[in-house]
Each structure stands twice: as C-alpha cells, then as structure tokens.
Amino acid sequence: MNDITLRDCQQTVDEWVRTVGVRYYSELTNTAVLMEEVGEVARLMARLYGDQSFKKADEAVNLADEMADVLFVLICLANQTGVDLTAAFHQNMAKKTTRDKERHANNPKLK
C-alpha cells in the first residue's frame, strides 16, 4: 500500500465527496457524524480492551475501519472549514513539544 500525505487525503476526500457523495453534509451535520463515529470507536475499544463483551452484531466490526471513519469525517470538516491539516499538524506538534518539553518527563506516573 502506498504512503499518502495528509494533503493527498484532503484532496482524495474532496474528490470523493464531490463525485460519489454529491456534496458535503453541512458542517453541523458532519460534526454530529464525527461524534457518532468516535462513539463507534469507543464502543469497540470498550469491547476489545475494556470489560464489555461482544454481541453478535459487533463481531464484524473492525477497529482500523472505525478509525478510518473518524479520519474521513474529520477530513471532511477540515475541507469545509478551510483547515490545512498538514500545517495544523506541524503547528500542533510544535506547540505540544514546546509546552510539554519537561512536563511528561517529570510526571512520576509515566515512569
């Protein structure tokens, strides 16, 4: 499988939405859909790593696919709101690195 950049992902999603998907759902609808998809990941995590048991209907569910659903909707929202995820990711990592330079190293719970 080929590597793909965040910029490629944003473009691929945009092309898909404008052809197969016809148009973007509204930003508010996609925000609700994002919460739904995050909930599906949480449901699966509770069963895979938590104490919940699987029902028959849960057995075909796949964690990677559910995470990709979250990513897809997040990318839709980025496209709709003019967010460049590549720039945002770089800025966010730089912020975390500066802000948390010693925070985690000094956290005794992480030792």
With respect to Mg ion, which residue has the nearer C-beta, 54 or 100?
54
15-54 residues in contact with Mg ion (CB under 5 A) are 37, 40
Residue ranges of E strands in the chain: none
Asked if 76 touches Mg ion (CB under 5 A), the answer is: no
13 contacts 72 by C-beta, under 8 angstroms: yes
- Of all residues in the shown chain, the one whose CB is closest to Mg ion is 69
Q: What's phi and psi for 73, nearest 5 deg?
A: -70, -35
103's CB contacts (< 8 A; 6+ apart) are none
Least distance CB 40 / Mg ion (angstroms): 4
Q: Collapsing DSSP states into helix, strand and coil, what is residue 66?
A: helix
Task: Find the binder of Mg ion among 17, 66, 75, 78 (CB under 5 A).
Answer: 66
**Site residues, Mg ion (CB under 5 A):** 37, 40, 66, 69
